[in-house]
Amino acid sequence: MPKILSVGTAIPKYSISQDSAVEFAKELFGNSFKDINRLLTVFQNGQIEKRHFVNNIEWFQEAHSFEEKNNLYITEAVSYGVEAIKACLSNTKTLPTVVPYEEIEAIFYISTTGMSTPSVEARIMNILPITPYTKRIPIWGLGCAGGAAGLSRAYEYCKAFPKAKVLILCVELCSLTFQKGDLSKSNLIGTSLFADGIASVLVGGDEVIIEGDCSYPSIQGTQSTLMEDSEDVMGWEIKNDGLFVVFSRDIPEIILNWLSPNVQRFLNVHRIEKSDLNHFVLHPGGKKVLDAYEACLEMEQSKLQTSLNVLKNFGNMSSVTVLYVLKEIMEQEAKKGDIGLAGALGPGFSSELVLLKWE
């Protein structure tokens, strides 16, 4: 089966504490809600301590046009994308030797927080010595599910081409979608959660040989599920000023009622019991989302510790977040024979599940 060989990340340079974000939100939203102090408890209750952004907090105090924000998205996505790819192909914790750029056969570019034509991976190919014959597969609009979906699509590609090495590059600059003039509760919740992040993953087919005594998670199977008539659960409203967040308060309840049977169906197909799972590589969309995972999957809270740590230190980076969790588990926790479930939820409303086995 195709295997995940390496994960590399790039961390935006501005670290902003949650306390600073609370003060910013109080100043911005204070006149819009009579119960602002009660609403601001979402910042503390979310268990996020800090997040990283491509701009300092002063940048958000001014309004910026869609054009300005999107141009900045392109510049920063290319710069940090190059950094993440370099980190992925030279990650000594999982790779015995550096993988040459020329060996990359395809790049899956995942994002939902900015737009670029030509797409960002094409711009990166003009910076790094990647062969011009590399296939480009840009995917837009999957939101928080995008990282797990990228693993699924890379798995399918490498099943078809077992000698292939492919890259997944996820770039989410959520901060650049911030709307200073949007005084809705959805924007307040988004301000408490979302952050910027960049990650790249190297996936190899069955015939890719990596020398050394290493154990890698092979992808055993995937499942994509779309909930009918659920377009309003999460996503963007695209307006003249840019992207406005759609964020339903019912998401934790939806997870409880909808995700569990989907997971059970997936595990049944592969004849796996929940008790067989050693690792949960789950996108930490927020503390309430993690609590819903714990309840619907009937797991011990300790199994979510890596997801919780990523949430605490980086916030919700949309599609990128699950890849930060995967990196931590690959480098520190997993061993040969372990079984893991990777998963993320996104607009649609949708889920993407990936079954992993360390071999």
Active site members: 144
Alpha helices, H only, 206-278: 251-254, 260-269
- Helix 287-296 vs helix 305-314: crossing angle, to nearest 10: 170
CA dihedral 242, 248, 254, 259 (to 10 degrees): 20
Query: Are the CB atoms for 81 and 171 separated by under 8 Å?
Result: yes
Distance of alpha carbon 198 from alpha carbon 84, whole angstroms = 7
Query: Are the CB atoms for 171 and 85 separated by under 8 Å?
Result: no
Distance of alpha carbon 7 from alpha carbon 111, whole angstroms = 17
The amino acid sitting at 348 is G
3-state helix, strand, coil in the chain (%, to 5): 40, 25, 30
Distance of alpha carbon 175 from alpha carbon 181, whole angstroms = 14
Collect all residues with Cβ–Cβ distance below 8 Å to 124 and sequence separation of at least 6: 78, 81, 82, 85, 130, 169
DSSP helix/strand/coil, 255: helix
Residue whose pair of structure tokens reads 């119960």 in the numeric block = 35
Query: Are the CB atoms for 202 and 326 separated by under 8 Å?
Result: no
DSSP helix/strand/coil, 74: helix
Closest CA to 321 of 189, 187, 172, 175: 172
Distance of alpha carbon 292 from alpha carbon 304, whole angstroms = 11
